[in-house]
């Protein structure tokens, strides 16, 4: 569920004003500069996430250029409006297909099942492919969703690993539209790749990993939910 609500706009991430957007863009540029140089990423969380992947191979300056610009403006060269979602604030990276290994624990909510979760869902990932989905009712529902509506590539990584950068998005809303942008958490997606054009699927299924620690090569980017670059 990615519904935009009045509360998100008036009490949550939608409160960000021009100065706040500039700060979010600055955080994005700083993280982007680290990702532009890094080969390996290591993501952990107190909820049990522990995964590594290769994030290299993107064009030079890809992340810092993309994140270091104010969104919703027109590209002077192409005349096209630039991207951006509201509430605003994330920095994502798509790993090289086949390189993600470890465990991701979605511990807040996900696109499906929507709303507040009782039990976390653990994805075991081997060589860029989800090989097991463990947990309770929610895990069963995630499996059913992928089997019913997905395709072969919906189980691949693919997707994106994205740190939220909007301090106005409150915790415990259990709404993806807001949780995805909440400062210091991660939306981790499987299925359709965000940037590389290699993993193609009818689905990208994303869930929330709370208070992540992200290390790119030897640089700590985010420490237990605090962005430190």
Shortest Å, Cβ 102 to Fe ion: 20
Determine if 92 is a binding residue for Fe ion (CB under 5 A). Answer: yes
Which residue has tokens 């994330």? 90
- H-assigned helices in the chain: 6-10, 18-37, 62-67, 137-149, 176-179
Closest CB to Fe ion: residue number: 162
Shortest Å, Cβ 153 to Fe ion: 18
- CA distance linking residue 67 with residue 33, whole number of Å: 9
- Residue 5 or 85 with smaller CB distance to Fe ion: 85
C-alpha torsion 157→4→172→101, nearest 10: 0
- Residue 48 or 84 with smaller CB distance to Fe ion: 84
Decide: residue 53, CB within 10 A, 0-12 exposed, 13-18 middle, 19+ buried. Answer: buried
- Residue 90 or 138 with smaller CB distance to Fe ion: 90
* Cα dist from 4 to 9, 48, 185, whole Å: 8, 30, 19
Shortest Å, Cβ 126 to Fe ion: 23
Contact criterion met (CB below 8 Å) for 40 and 52: yes
Which residue has tokens 């691949």? 156
Determine if 204 is a binding residue for Fe ion (CB under 5 A). Answer: no
Shortest Å, Cβ 137 to Fe ion: 26
Give the number of residues in contact with Fe ion, rule: CB under 5 A.
3
- CA distance linking residue 173 with residue 159, whole number of Å: 23
Determine if 186 is a binding residue for Fe ion (CB under 5 A). Answer: no
Site string for Fe ion, 38-77 (x = CB under 5 A): ----------------------------------------
Shortest Å, Cβ 118 to Fe ion: 25
Dihedral of alpha carbons 13, 14, 17, 21, sign: positive
- Options 2-10, 88-96, 113-121, 134-142: segment touching Fe ion (CB under 5 A): 88-96
Determine if 162 is a binding residue for Fe ion (CB under 5 A). Answer: yes
Determine if 29 is a binding residue for Fe ion (CB under 5 A). Answer: no
- CA distance linking residue 167 with residue 222, whole number of Å: 14
Shortest Å, Cβ 93 to Fe ion: 10
Shortest Å, Cβ 16 to Fe ion: 17
The binding site for Fe ion (CB under 5 A) comprises 90, 92, 162
């Amino acid at each position: 569920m990615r519904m935009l609500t009045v509360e998100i706009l008036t009490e949550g991430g939608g409160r960000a004003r021009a100065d706040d957007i500039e700060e979010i863009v600055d955080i994005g540029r700083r993280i982007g500069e680290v990702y532009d140089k890094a080969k390996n990423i290591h993501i952990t969380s107190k909820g049990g996430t522990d995964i590594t992947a290769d994030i290299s191979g993107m064009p030079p300056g890809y992340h810092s250029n993309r994140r270091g610009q104010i969104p919703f403006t027109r590209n002077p060269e192409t005349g096209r409006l630039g991207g951006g979602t509201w509430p605003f604030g994330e920095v994502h990276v798509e790993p090289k297909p086949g390189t993600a290994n470890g465990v991701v624990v979605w511990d807040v909510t996900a696109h499906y099942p929507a709303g507040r979760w009782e039990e976390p869902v653990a994805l075991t990932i081997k060589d860029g492919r989800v090989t097991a989905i463990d947990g309770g009712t929610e895990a069963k529902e995630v499996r059913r969703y992928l089997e019913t509506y997905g395709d072969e590539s919906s189980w691949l990584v693919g997707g994106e690993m994205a740190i939220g950068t909007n301090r106005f998005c409150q915790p415990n809303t259990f709404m993806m539209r807001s949780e995805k942008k909440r400062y210091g958490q991660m939306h981790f997606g499987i299925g359709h790749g965000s940037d590389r054009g290699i993993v193609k699927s009818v689905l990208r299924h994303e869930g929330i990993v709370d208070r992540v620690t992200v290390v790119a090569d030897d640089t700590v980017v985010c420490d237990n939910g605090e962005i430190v670059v």
